[in-house]
């Protein structure tokens, strides 16, 4: 794992154990309470519940579709060239500084300190320090021009494994380039996977460019995300550490807590029969209506 890869930090920041992190354990629990319609007097029993592949797909899908999705393209920075009004994403400047810092130093403590400032930095239209600092002002204008194109993500989960076209095609009406995450939840056996019946079909899924992997687990209680497979079994990564401290900041242990240096393997016969197949479909705003009805069926 390259410790200075800025993309890693921007993704992980959405999974911190803080309410403002979109995919935090707190927000997952809030969504689970709503999904399972759990009353306050039932909370004490709820804490022992497990989220299986189907429940997880629905809950994460709901979180993705919430309005405050970090990945959604927004006009976050507007510029009045008279120098009286600057709007920008509060993290964009510090991310630029982070990239510059990683080019000149190997001091991880400096990098972590900078990363943890992201949520506290406040660069607003009334920030005279920015407007009066010509160097910073020019950097902001440069970043605006070079800002990479972003895409909107939406998600839909089919909890019974039956795909309803109207649930997917409604997103095609959005006049914008988007990605749709599709979760197909299945039960392929009783306790473990019926290997002889389903292995060939699952293997064929990995040949599709839209296929992103399988959310499932082993025949016990462990949950895994399988990103590849062969005739003998499936490959997954499992870096989580039991009973570790809450993840609220980036620190020097980030490499061991979230990343693995060795791939793990699970034979087909030990794959849990409950699973979610995950697909990501890219939709272009230029795709004619008659074409998407057939191209993405």
pLDDT of res. 63: 94
Verdict on whether the full-model pTM lies above 0.75: no
Q: What is the DSSP string of 20-78?
A: TSTT-HHHHHHHHHHHTT--GGGHHHHTT----HHHHHHHHHHHHTSS--TTS------
Q: Looking at residues 287-296, what average pLDDT do you find?
A: 48
Q: Which residue has the higher pLDDT, 101 or 154?
A: 154
Q: Are strands 178-192 and 79-80 parallel, antiparallel or unpaired?
A: unpaired
Query: Which is it for the CA torsion 108, 150, 35, 22, positive or negative?
Result: positive
Residue 155 has pLDDT above 80, yes or no: yes
pLDDT of res. 257: 76
User: Sorting pLDDT into bands at 50, 70 and 90, what band is 11?
Assistant: confident
- The structure tokens 């380039």 sit at 177
- The structure tokens 């800002």 sit at 147
| CB contact set of 278 (below 8 Å; sequence gap of 6+) | 181, 182, 183, 184, 211, 212, 213, 214, 215
Phi, psi of 250, rounded to the nearest 5 degrees: -80, 140
Q: How far apart are CA 19 and CA 156, in angstroms?
A: 23
Q: Which residue has the higher pLDDT, 110 or 276?
A: 276
Mean pLDDT of the chain: 73
| CB contact set of 16 (below 8 Å; sequence gap of 6+) | 24, 247, 248, 249
Determine which of 36-40, 109-113, 126-130, 264-268 has the lowest per-residue pLDDT on average. Answer: 126-130
pLDDT digits (tens, 9 = 90+) for 200-213: 999 999 999 999 99
Q: Looking at residues 108-123, what average pLDDT do you find?
A: 53
């Amino acid at each position: 794992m390259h410790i200075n890869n800025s993309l890693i930090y921007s993704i992980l920041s959405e999974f911190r154990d803080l309410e403002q992190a979109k995919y935090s354990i707190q927000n997952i629990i809030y969504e689970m309470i709503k999904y399972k319609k759990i009353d306050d007097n039932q909370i004490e029993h709820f804490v022992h519940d497990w989220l299986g592949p189907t429940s997880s797909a629905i809950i994460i899908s709901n979180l993705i579709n919430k309005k405050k999705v970090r990945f959604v393209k927004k006009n976050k920075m507007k510029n009045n060239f008279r120098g009286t009004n600057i709007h920008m994403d509060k993290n964009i400047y510090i991310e630029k500084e982070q990239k510059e810092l990683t080019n000149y130093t190997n001091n991880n403590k400096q990098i972590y300190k900078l990363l943890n400032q992201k949520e506290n930095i406040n660069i607003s239209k009334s920030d005279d320090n920015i407007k009066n600092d010509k160097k910073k002002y020019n950097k902001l204008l440069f970043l605006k021009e070079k800002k990479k194109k972003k895409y909107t993500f939406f998600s839909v989960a089919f909890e019974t494994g039956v795909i309803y076209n109207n649930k997917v095609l409604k997103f095609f009406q959005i006049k914008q380039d988007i990605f749709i995450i599709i979760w197909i939840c299945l039960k392929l056996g009783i306790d473990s996977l019926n290997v002889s019946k389903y292995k060939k079909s699952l293997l064929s899924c990995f040949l599709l460019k839209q296929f992103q992997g399988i959310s499932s687990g082993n025949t016990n209680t462990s949950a895994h995300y399988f990103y590849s497979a062969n005739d003998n079994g499936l490959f997954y990564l499992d870096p989580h550490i039991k009973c570790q401290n809450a993840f609220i900041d980036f620190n020097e242990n980030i490499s061991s807590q979230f990343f693995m240096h060795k791939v793990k393997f699970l034979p087909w016969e030990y794959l849990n029969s409950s699973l979610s197949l995950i697909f990501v479909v890219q939709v272009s705003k230029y795709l004619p209506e008659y074409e998407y009805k057939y191209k993405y069926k």
